[in-house]
Structure 1
Amino acid sequence: MHEVIKDMADRLAGVPGVRGVMLGGSRARGEHRPESDWDLGVYYRGPLDLAALGALAGPDVEVAGPGGWGPWVNGGAWLRVDGVAVDWILRDLDRVERVWQDCREGRYEVGVQPGHPLGFWSPCYPGEVALGQVLADPAGELAALRTSVAAYPEPLRKALLAGAWEAEFLAAGAAKGAARADALYVSLCLSRAFGILVQALYAADRRWCLNEKGALAAADLLPSAPPAFGERVRTLLGAPGTTPDSLTATVTEARTLIEETRAGLV
């Protein structure tokens, strides 16, 4: 299968506008299962020949152009090769490089993106390059970028650690919602608060957090995480309650966990 994917990457790199292709996801990190998807980041600059991409994908595959899947996950296509899912994910290389420069200077964004319930965190862009494998790179642009992102930027680390203050702010809002038995609002506040803490825990260990999938389990193993961090988060989110008393008890425990976690972020 790897030979098929490499050949596909080479053909993708020949499409006008495409600058290179990277293998991402669990297969790039060696954490995949036999049934795991093959995620191919298709990096382009300027106009992209969508007709050529469509011809390469085949007549039964719809290729979504830039912006077709949302503002951050630009577009792409879902294919099946020998019964295995292969995902093409478009990445605007100019934008990736701009985001990387922002990260180096301690700036990041969190944008709304379908499929990312906690938002799309812009450091995902350089993180994908850092953790991915270059499959096709005719001009050496991806290899050069991958070398550049090898070291986690300290300004970004400081910014993500500083941003953990929002977790307590959200918990304070959740406390008001708990008093009104507003279970949806409480759950949303706490989910985002814990998501922010996960991002901060990754940053504390100078690790790239690419998305929400599996992030809690991985963060639970990081050295800055408080004892039983993952188990406590799962318990609180799994049954937050329905009454003012039960929801308030959940928020109280959540605030204790938030305080412990922030205290360990150094």
Structure 2
Amino acid sequence: MPDDEEFLDRVVAKLAGLPGVTAIALGGSRAQGTHQADSDWDLGIYYRNTFDPQDLRDLGWSGEVFELGAWGGGIFNGGAWLQIDGRKVDVHYRDLAVIERVIAEAEVGQFTIEPLMFHLAGIPSYLLLAELAFAQVLHGDLPRPTYPPELQQQAATRWWNSADLLFGYAETSSASSGRVTQCLGLLAQATMMAAHAVMAAEGRWVTNEKRLLPDAGLSSVDDLLLDFGKAPEDLASLIRSTRNVCSSRLATATNPDESHSRW
């Protein structure tokens, strides 16, 4: 088995030769230096105008290659799960035209939120920028965006407004009726949205939800969820406590020099 450097050089050379591909980037934990020995290799292939997944299949690597749009048709528009030289390799298709549009929108504080499997809060379109901010560019040239100030303000407000609505609904509807599973589901979703708000307020990129709560300083919510009763008044108290934790953390992120906040 080739060592990691030789393996990566060979794979990148093959991917860079595919029609339409103009750049290759290493992402995920390996780009950020937080990987384990058995962590996947996340490779983004950035293309201009068009890309044909059949060209990737024709390289002959084992695994599954998906069509464009097969992962929902949004900003995550497909990819492949491969086994190469005994390593797990995830390939992600990235359309440069989409990235350029998302960058322009982010500069004026605009973004969309898309549902994505395994993500409680969904994913913001500016996640594409977060990938680029952390990625190691291995071939070609790619934008290296910084967090736009207008996006900090708009994203923090939008995420928190959504979280606050969910906290309120969870208390007045689910908790008051003793619907435990629904209540906890809404609570978890709201907390993730609040964490997004904190990260936005501090101008810190988010690439997925795996470490979102600790990165946002909201790990203490885990302790709250482990100690609650099932009675309506207990559930309502849990929701209020969780909301207060999130609101206080966001207040600090938004204005660390003041102890009060509109949140």
TM exceeding 0.5: yes
The Cα offsets for residues 56-101 of structure 1, whole Å up to 9 and x where unpaired, read as: 143x422102111223321111112332211111111111111111
Q: Which of 211, 221, 243 is residue 214 of structure 1 equivalent to?
A: 211
2:251 aligned partner: 263
Query: Which blocks of at least 5 consecutive residues in structure 1 are unaligned?
Result: 221-228
Q: CA deviation at 1:53?
A: 0.7
Distance 2:76 2:229 in 1: 34
Cα contact 1:22–1:135 (8 A) shared by 2: yes
Q: Report SS of the residue matched to 1:77.
A: strand
1:147-186 matches, cutoff 5 A? 149=145, 151-163=146-158, 164-176=160-172, 177-186=174-183
Query: Which blocks of at least 5 consecutive residues in structure 2 are unaligned?
Result: 256-263
Q: Which of 79, 82, 86 is residue 85 of structure 2 equivalent to?
A: 82
What letter is aligned with 1:54? R
Q: CA deviation at 1:241?
A: 4.2
Identical-pair percentage: 35
Cα contact 2:156–2:197 (8 A) shared by 1: yes
What letter is aligned with 1:28? A
1:67 aligned partner: 69
- Say if 2:235 is the partner of 1:247: yes
Q: CA deviation at 1:245?
A: 2.6
1:1-150 matches, cutoff 5 A? 1-58=4-61, 60-70=62-72, 71-137=74-140, 140=141, 142=142, 145-146=143-144, 149=145
Say if 1:251 and 1:40 are closer, same or farther in 2 by CA, change over 3 A.
same
Cα contact 2:63–2:83 (8 A) shared by 1: no
Q: CA deviation at 1:119?
A: 0.6
Cα contact 2:110–2:151 (8 A) shared by 1: yes
The Cα offsets for residues 92-112 of structure 1, whole Å up to 9 and x where unpaired, read as: 111111111111110111101
Q: Report SS of the residue matched to 2:65.
A: coil
RMSD between superposed Cα atoms in Å: 1.7
Cα contact 1:41–1:89 (8 A) shared by 2: yes
Q: Report SS of the residue matched to 1:168.
A: helix
Q: Which moved more, 1:20-29 or 1:184-193?
A: 184-193
Distance 1:86 1:237 in 2: 35
Distance 2:113 2:226 in 1: 25
- Say if 2:198 is the partner of 1:201: yes
What letter is aligned with 2:202? D
Say if 1:258 and 1:62 are closer, same or farther in 2 by CA, change over 3 A.
closer
Distance 1:56 1:243 in 2: 58
2:184 aligned partner: 187
Q: Report SS of the residue matched to 1:48.
A: coil
Aligned residues: 248
The TM-score normalised by the length of structure 1 is 0.87
What letter is aligned with 1:235? D
